Amino acid sequence: MSIQFKALEATEDEGNFSLSIVEKKTDDLPEGDLLIKVEYSSLNYKDAMSASGIPGVTRNYPHTPGIDAAGEIIESSTEEFKQGEKVIVTGYDLGMNTSGGFGEFIRVPSTWALHLPKDLSTKQSMSLGTAGLTAGLSIHSLDSYKGWTGFNGTKSVVTGATGGVGSISVMLLSALGSKVTAVSGKKDQIDFLKSLGATEVLSREELAEKTRKPIGKSLWDIGVDVVSGETLSLLLTSLNPGGAIACSGLVGGPSFESSIFPFILRGNALLGIDSVEIPLKDKIHVWKHFSTDWSLNKLEEITKVVSLENLEVEINSILAGEQTGRVVVKL
C-alpha cells in the first residue's frame, strides 16, 4: 500500500532553484530493500548545495535533499533488518541523487543502513549525523596514524570550529584530553568555542600571524581541517615532528599550496577523510564509539531542532557561513 507523506523538494526553472513542501507517495520512491519512516534528519553543507543547485552534488531535479536519516523500518525484504527496528542511514547516494532524509519516508538498499546503537536515540544520532561521523573518522584516523597512543596531553588545532564537523571535533578532542586550538572566522563565538572545550581560539588573521611559509614554528601535534585552501596551507607549516592533519572539507576552496618541507623535514602527513563511500563496517565502528566512550555531554547544547517548514531558513544560513553547531530536522 502506498503511503502519502511530506517532503522538502528542490525544483529548477531555467537555472533558478526554489524549495517547497510537497506531498509525495512511497510508490514514488526508488527501489530498495528498506522502507524507512524518518524520525530525524540533519542539515549538512552538502544538503544546502543540493537544495540550491550548486553543481557537483545533484544531477536531476525535482529532488529531495538530506544525506542523513534516522528512523524506523516499515518494510524490509532482507533478513538482516526487521520491521520496527531503528536504523541510521548516512552518505552513499542518499540525498544526492536518491530521495533523501528531508522527506518523511526513504527507501534505500540495506547495504546503506546500520542498526541504531542501543545507547543512542534517533535524535542524538542526527545531532551527530554526517558531521559527527566525519569528525569521528578524522579523530580515529589520527589516532591510528599516531599508533593508537591516544590524545591525552596532545596539542590539536581544529578549523571551521563553529560548524558541525568543527564543533564536534573540538568537543571530542577536548574530552579525550587534548589541548584544542579552535580556528574560526566568527569573532563573536569565542565563548561558545571555549564552552565546548577549546583552550585557545584564533581568528583566521591570528592563525596567519602565528604561522610562516614554507615552514614555521612547530605548534600542534594534530589537526582537523574542514576548510582547505589557505588555511590548510598554513596548518601544514606548523605541525610538530610526526604530526598529521585530517582533512575533510573545502569551504575555503578545493586547492591549497604546500612545499615538500613539512613532509621531509618533520615527517608530517595529510590524511584524507571520506565519510560517504567508506565501508559500512568503518561507519559502525565510529557509531559504536559515539554510543560508548565518545559520548558527548554537550551535544544537546549545540543542537537546534527545526521542522521541514523552517528548514529553508537554515539552508540559507549555512550557505552564508552563519550556522553554528548542528541543525536537526524533526520529521
Question: Mind listing the pLDDT tens digit for each residue in 62-77?
Answer: 999 999 999 999 999 9
| CATH number of 94's domain | 3.90.180.10
Question: Cα–Cα distance between 305 and 315 in angstroms, integer?
Answer: 13
Choose the most confident range, by mean pLDDT, from 55-64, 147-156, 209-218: 55-64
Q: Are strands 220-225 and 303-307 parallel, antiparallel or unpaired?
A: unpaired
Specify the pLDDT at position 212: 83
DSSP, collapsed to helix, strand or coil, labels residue 247 as strand
Decide if pLDDT at 9 tops 80. yes
User: Based on the domain organization, do 135 and 201 belong to the same domain?
Assistant: yes
User: Based on the domain organization, do 38 and 171 belong to the same domain?
Assistant: no
Decide if pLDDT at 304 tops 80. yes
Give the cell for residue 262. 613539512
User: Based on the domain organization, do 164 and 217 belong to the same domain?
Assistant: yes
User: Based on the domain organization, do 226 and 198 belong to the same domain?
Assistant: yes
Decide if pLDDT at 51 tops 90. yes
Range of the domain at 60: 4-116+299-330
Among 272, 290, 310, the domain-final residue is 272
User: How many structural domains are present in the chain?
Assistant: 2
Average pLDDT, the chain: 95
User: Based on the domain organization, do 178 and 208 belong to the same domain?
Assistant: yes
Specify the pLDDT at position 187: 84
Virtual CA dihedral for 158, 162, 164, 165, nearest 10 degrees? 0
- 293 in a structural domain: no
User: Based on the domain organization, do 311 and 264 belong to the same domain?
Assistant: no
Question: Mind listing the pLDDT tens digit for each residue in 306-322?
Answer: 999 999 999 999 999 88
pLDDT above 70 coverage of the chain, percent: 100
**By CB neighbour count within 10 A (0-12 exposed, 13-18 middle, 19+ buried), where does 21 fall?**
middle
Q: What's the Cα-to-Cα distance from 33 to each of 42, 77, 79, 104, 107, rounded to whole Å? A: 23, 5, 10, 17, 7
Confidence band for 268, pLDDT divided at 50, 70 and 90: very high
Specify the pLDDT at position 173: 97
Confidence band for 210, pLDDT divided at 50, 70 and 90: confident
User: Based on the domain organization, do 265 and 303 belong to the same domain?
Assistant: no
Give the cell for residue 37. 519512516
- 283 in a structural domain: no
Contacts of 173 (CB under 8 A, 6+ apart): 139, 151, 156, 158, 180, 197, 224
DSSP, collapsed to helix, strand or coil, labels residue 46 as helix
**Contact yes or no for 150/117 (Cβ under 8 A):** no
User: Based on the domain organization, do 160 and 263 belong to the same domain?
Assistant: yes
Higher local confidence (pLDDT), 193 or 252: 193
Give pTM, 2 decimals: 0.94
State the average pLDDT over residues 81-109: 97
Question: Cα–Cα distance between 237 and 220 in angstroms, integer?
Answer: 10
User: Based on the domain organization, do 258 and 314 belong to the same domain?
Assistant: no
User: Based on the domain organization, do 24 and 92 belong to the same domain?
Assistant: yes
Q: What one-character-per-residue DSSP string does 162-198 give?
A: TSHHHHHHHHHHHHTT-EEEEE-S-GGGHHHHHHHTE
- 285 in a structural domain: no
